[in-house]
Every structure is written in C-alpha cells, then in structure tokens.
C-alpha cells in the first residue's frame, strides 16, 4: 500500500489513526462514491481479520470503523399499462408464443424468480386450486396463489406442449422446454423478453427480475400487507421485503389526496 510506504509502515503495524488518515485522504483526493469507499473498508477489514486468524497481529485496527451510509436503491418496476403491453404483445397460439406468455403470466402473477419458474415441473402447479408449489433458495418450500388469467394461459400452453412432445423421446421433466425438449435456459428467455420489450416500445431496461419487483410493488400499492408479500417472495427476512415500501411519487400523491383531511 503506497500510503503506508510513504509513512514507512507495514500494513501489520498500522493503527486506527493511520488508517483513518488514509481513508480521509483517498476520499478527498479521489472523490470516491460511498459504495467504493465501503468496498475498500470491507476489503481492509477482511485483510486484518485474516492477519489475526494467522496469528500475525492481536488487534484489529478497523474494529471500530464506521462504514459510510449507502443510498438505498429503489427497485425498478413497470406500471400496469407496461405490463399489459408485454402480455398483449404475445398473442400467438403456437408453442413458442404460448410458452413466453405463460412464463410472463407466472412471473407477474406469483413474483417467482425466473430460475424458480424455469425449474417448475407440471406437477408443481395445481390449476384446479390455483396454487404453485415452489422450492426457492435453500430448498425452502412455499405455496403461491395464482389468478385466473395465469391459469387460463397455462391450460392453453399445457395442451400445445402435450401435442409438441407427445411422441418425442428424451424429453426433460420441466414445464418450460425448448423445441428440443430440453429445459428452457434463462439466456433464451432473456432474449425473448428483450425482443418483446423492444417490440412494445417500453423505454426502460426490461429483465426477468423486473417482473418480480413489479409484482411486489403493485401488491403493496394496492394494500397488501408486507408480511404476505414476504411469504410469497420467499424472503427469509422482512427487511429484504421492505425495499418495496419506497413507492413511486404518483402513488404517494394519490394516497395523500385520498387520506389527508384536506386532500
């Protein structure tokens, strides 16, 4: 580290005051963003934890360092009209169009991760009762309800899927398949979604996880409680779900007008 060399010190002999001087120096000279400064502090902490584990030093000089406050990122979402544009753009009744429409409906209806949707098997879905059984991170099981729009499209997709693969050998068990009968890849669905977004003229970056964000935000905006959304998303901590409480200005304005005595 050039800063310590200029002080004729080895990293192992640096004390909290020296390291504090170092961070103030790079922050002022390089005008570092909080995220960059945070990463540098965490890297230094990891270095000194390793030195302690190896028995080279006894005390961690970064122990009482305060990391900079990181700005919270408000998730991107689509509005209802944009979601409808995406869904309406996939109007064909052939295998590929119905497959894309069914995946989109499931993503928006359930808030599942795209990896969870592409890993589904037909037996994971109860069209009669309107439930999806999914295993998320850490093999944690959850049940998510579906609305009738998604169930209707899935029934049509099931029928076409059966016709396409009825007599083909080596078909994989997943619900969403490529033309070759293999599990549909995330890359292929991403390409399909990008092409669809371009076709509809949506002016923002559209990616599979955007529909998960949209699902949660739309539920919250319409009065769903945070705990229910947490359960459907499969978040282990309510803190993770709370990112969706940062509602859009239009939503806040509407709520203000609706509930304020002078609204």
Q: What is the pLDDT of residues 70-126, one digit of tens each?
A: 556 667 889 999 999 999 999 889 999 999 999 999 999 999 999 999 999 999 999
User: Domain 80-247, what fold?
Assistant: hpI Integrase; Chain A (1.10.443)
Question: For this structure, is 209 an active site residue?
Answer: yes
140 is catalytic: no
Is 113 an annotated catalytic residue?
yes
Please tell me which residue in 22, 48, 101, 113 is annotated as part of the active site.
113
235 included as an active-site residue: yes
Q: What is the model's pLDDT at position 63? A: 83
Check 22, 48, 157, 244 and give the catalytic one: 244
Domain with CATH 1.10.443.10 in the chain: 80-247
212 is catalytic: yes
pLDDT tens digits along 177-211:
999 999 999 999 999 999 999 999 888 899 999 99
Q: What is the pLDDT of residues 91-102, one digit of tens each?
A: 889 999 999 999
Respond yes or no: is residue 121 known to be catalytic: no
Indicate which residue of 99, 101, 212, 213 is catalytic.
212
pLDDT higher than threshold 60 for residue 255: no
Of 39, 137, 186, 253, which is the active-site residue? 137
Alpha carbons 79 and 83: distance in angstroms, whole number? 6
pLDDT in tens, 9-66: 787 888 888 888 887 888 777 777 777 877 888 888 888 888 888 888 888 888 887 7
């Amino acid at each position: 580290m050039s800063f310590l060399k200029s002080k004729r010190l080895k990293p192992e002999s640096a004390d909290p005051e020296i390291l504090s001087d170092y961070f103030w120096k790079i922050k002022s000279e390089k005008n570092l963003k909080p995220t960059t400064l945070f990463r540098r502090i965490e890297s230094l902490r990891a270095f000194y934890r390793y030195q302690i584990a190896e028995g080279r030093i006894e005390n961690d000089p970064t122990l009482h360092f305060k990391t900079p406050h990181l700005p919270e990122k408000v998730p991107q979402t689509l509005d209802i009209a944009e979601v409808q544009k995406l869904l309406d753009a996939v109007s064909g009744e052939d295998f590929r169009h119905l497959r894309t429409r069914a995946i989109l409906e499931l993503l928006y209806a359930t808030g599942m991760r795209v990896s969870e949707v592409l890993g589904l098997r037909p037996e994971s879905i109860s069209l009669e009762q309107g439930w999806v059984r999914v295993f998320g991170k850490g093999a944690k099981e959850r049940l998510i309800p579906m609305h009738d729009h998604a169930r209707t499209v899935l029934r049509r997709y099931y029928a076409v899927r059966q016709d396409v693969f009825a007599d083909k050998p080596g078909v994989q068990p997943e619900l969403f398949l490529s033309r070759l009968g293999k599990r549909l890849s995330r890359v292929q669905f991403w390409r399909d979604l990008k092409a669809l977004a371009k076709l509809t003229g949506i002016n923002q970056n559209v990616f599979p996880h955007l529909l998960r964000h949209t699902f949660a935000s739309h539920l919250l905006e319409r009065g769903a409680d945070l705990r229910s959304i947490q359960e459907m998303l499969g978040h282990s901590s309510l803190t993770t779900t709370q990112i969706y409480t940062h509602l859009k200005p239009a939503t806040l304005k509407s709520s203000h007008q609706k509930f304020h005595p002078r609204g």
